[in-house]
């Protein structure tokens, strides 16, 4: 039996340490809530199936090594700087994007 991942429940499953204060943030304009101490990757994937589209193929990406070596999990912030989702802690009010700002020229 296959258990398909639905966007409502996200990819990751919380198994422990769930009694932490919540932090509100947005991803692709969608309001989400993570927990204090979450990495950005954990918080986004708790509510979504993936982080971004691959640049060189049709598939999606959701991080790979989680230790800052593969560079698969870079996300954009609405206010500019990119961040590595696996090694950046979630902060209240973050506004995250999967792709560069719309004002950027198309590739």
Partner 1 sequence: MTRVLIVGAGPAGIRAAEVLVAAGLRPVVVDEGARAGGQIYRRPTDGFKRPPRTLYGSEAGKAVQLHETFDGFVCDGQVDYHPRCSVLGLQDGVAQVLGPDGVFAVPYDRLILAPGATDRLAPVPGWQMAGVFSLGAAQIALKSQGVALGRQIVLAGSGPLLTLVASQLISAGATVAAVLDTAPWGAQIRGGFDMALARPGVTLRGLRLRAGLGRRYRAGVTLTGIEGDGTSPAAVTWRDTRGRAHRTACDTVALGWHLRAETALADLAGAEFAWSDIWAQWLPRTDAAGRAQDGVYLAGDGMSILGADGAEIAGRLAARACLADLGHHVDVAAQNRDLGRKRRMGRFAKGIATAFPWPAEMVRALPEDAILCRCEGITAGDLRRTLTLSGPEVNRAKSLSRVGMGRCQGRYCQIAGAEVTAAQVGCGPATVGRLRAQPPVRPAPLGVIAAAADKPE
Q: Which of 11, 32, 40, 85 binds partner 1 (CB under 8 A)?
A: 11
Point out which span in 23-31, 34-42, 98-106 binds partner 1 (CB under 8 A).
34-42
54 forms part of the interface with partner 1 (CB under 8 A): yes
Window 64-103: contact mask with partner 1 (x via CB under 8 A): xxxxxxxxx--------xx----x-x--------------
If one asks whether residue 8 binds partner 1 (CB under 8 A), the answer comes out as no
Does 33 participate in binding partner 1 (rule CB under 8 A)? Answer: no
Strand order in the sheet with 74-77: 30-35, 22-27, 95-97, 74-77, 80-84
For residue 44, what is the DSSP state? H
> Phi and psi for 43 in degrees, rounded to 5?
-65, -45
- Of 57, 53, 62, 55, the C-alpha closest to 5 is 62
104's CB contacts (< 8 A; 6+ apart) are: none
Binding residues vs partner 1 (CB under 8 A):
1-5, 11-18, 20, 36-39, 42, 45-46, 49-51, 54-72, 81-82, 87, 89
């Amino acid at each position: 039996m296959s258990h398909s991942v639905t966007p409502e429940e996200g990819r990751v499953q919380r198994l422990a340490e769930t009694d932490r204060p919540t932090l509100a943030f947005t991803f692709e304009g969608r309001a989400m809530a993570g927990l204090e101490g979450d990495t950005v990757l954990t918080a986004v994937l708790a509510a979504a199936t993936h982080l971004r589209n691959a640049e060189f193929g049709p598939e999606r990406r959701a991080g790979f090594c989680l230790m800052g070596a593969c560079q698969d999990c870079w996300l954009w912030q609405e206010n500019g700087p990119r961040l590595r989702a696996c090694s950046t802690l979630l902060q209240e009010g973050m506004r995250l994007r999967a792709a560069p700002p719309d004002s950027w020229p198309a590739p």
